[in-house]
Amino acid sequence: MKNKAVEFKNFYYAYNGDELALKNINFGIREGSFTVLLGPSGAGKTTLCKAMAGIIPYYYGGRYAGSVEVLGEDTKGRRVSDIAMKLGLMLEDYESQLVSLTAGEEVSFSLLNHGFPPEEVAERTRKALEDVGLPGRENYQMDELSGGQRQRLLLASVLAVRPRVIVLDEPVSAMDPEGAVSLYKLLYKLYQKYGMTVVVVEHNLDFVLPYITDMIVLQDGQIKAAGCFEEAAEKAYADRELRHLLPALWQVRLELEQREGIRLGSWRNIGEAISELKEKFGRVGL
């Protein structure tokens, strides 16, 4: 059995003066998984991401119960900056996380704050920019980079710290479909290259379908399903309020399974779906 990258145990949380945003959260994210966090707006997905990074409850304050462990260590009593060495967080409003004038300064900012020696900072910065497809852009001003490039720059600054877990909150919400596909391709490449754990909050699962290994479904601050993608998708499909959140291809797959009483493969792209449907239904005359 694989170790848990992040583990929530009986976790509850309420913002100051507000009602519970997360209720009785119990689940673990497998180390080395590509996990998607799914749920309707206001389900508590961003709050859950912040709880993984220790920002909640230890920075924002509020009321809480239970615990969150990152790579086996309780986030309680640990500094957010220390947790960031193990778990990198990229928030939806990525522009607000950019603090420097040039790309190089941006990537090296957190490294310098963590006290890395200058030679290592320069080397890690170069490598991180190269990894995200921005090689040699150290001296580029922020306004010389496009929105997509700035987002990849932020990814580089998270990667430069070399965390074992990376959490991205709706990373493509402001991107066009091509940009979204390209960012997820890049993310998957890095996921494979470094063997890290990736957790993504995403509304449009069509973009990430080829890469998902695990899924967590959240609704009204409660976990509705968690585990391997196939099982969690089936559970979500059983709930009329959640099924529309699944990838279009899987809505078709699960509907067909239900209607025809058959089992279909774990489709990850349209090609796989077509070839299996041809094989199965071609013979029965459909």
Find the shortest distance in angstroms from Cβ 64 to other proteins.
6
The reply on whether position 223 binds other proteins by CB under 8 A is no
What is the number of alpha carbons within 13 Å of residue 240 lying toward its C-beta? 0
The candidate with the shortest Cα–Cα distance to 215, out of 204, 223, 203, 225, is: 225
Find the shortest distance in angstroms from Cβ 190 to other proteins.
26
Q: What is the four-CA torsion angle of 250, 217, 9, 47, rounded to 10 degrees? A: 140
The reply on whether position 47 binds other proteins by CB under 8 A is yes
Pick 48 or 156: Cβ nearer other proteins: 48
The reply on whether position 182 binds other proteins by CB under 8 A is no
Strand 222-228 versus strand 214-219 pairing type: antiparallel
Would you call 221 helix, strand, or coil by DSSP?
coil
Residues 6 or more apart whose CB falls under 8 angstroms from that of 243 comprise 236, 237, 251, 254
| 8 Å CB contact between 32 and 3 | no
Find the shortest distance in angstroms from Cβ 127 to other proteins.
29
The reply on whether position 125 binds other proteins by CB under 8 A is no
Q: Could you tell me the strand order of the sheet in which 214-219 lies?
A: 87-90, 165-169, 197-201, 34-38, 214-219, 222-228
Lookup result for tokens 């559970």: 235
Residue range at the interface with other proteins (CB under 8 A); choices 30-38, 63-71, 226-234, 236-244: 63-71
The reply on whether position 171 binds other proteins by CB under 8 A is no
Find the shortest distance in angstroms from Cβ 50 to other proteins.
8
Q: Calculate ∠ Cα 78-80-84, nearest 5°.
A: 110
The reply on whether position 174 binds other proteins by CB under 8 A is no
Q: Calculate ∠ Cα 88-4-195, nearest 5°.
A: 55
The reply on whether position 12 binds other proteins by CB under 8 A is yes
The reply on whether position 88 binds other proteins by CB under 8 A is no
Lookup result for tokens 């694989």: 2
Tell which positions 149-168 bind other proteins, by CB under 8 A.
Answer: none
The reply on whether position 62 binds other proteins by CB under 8 A is yes
The reply on whether position 60 binds other proteins by CB under 8 A is yes
The reply on whether position 176 binds other proteins by CB under 8 A is no
The reply on whether position 211 binds other proteins by CB under 8 A is no
Pick 20 or 134: Cβ nearer other proteins: 20
The reply on whether position 61 binds other proteins by CB under 8 A is yes
Pick 24 or 100: Cβ nearer other proteins: 24
| 8 Å CB contact between 44 and 22 | yes
Task: Give the footprint of other proteins on this chain (CB under 8 A).
Answer: 12, 14-16, 18-21, 23-24, 42, 44-47, 56-65
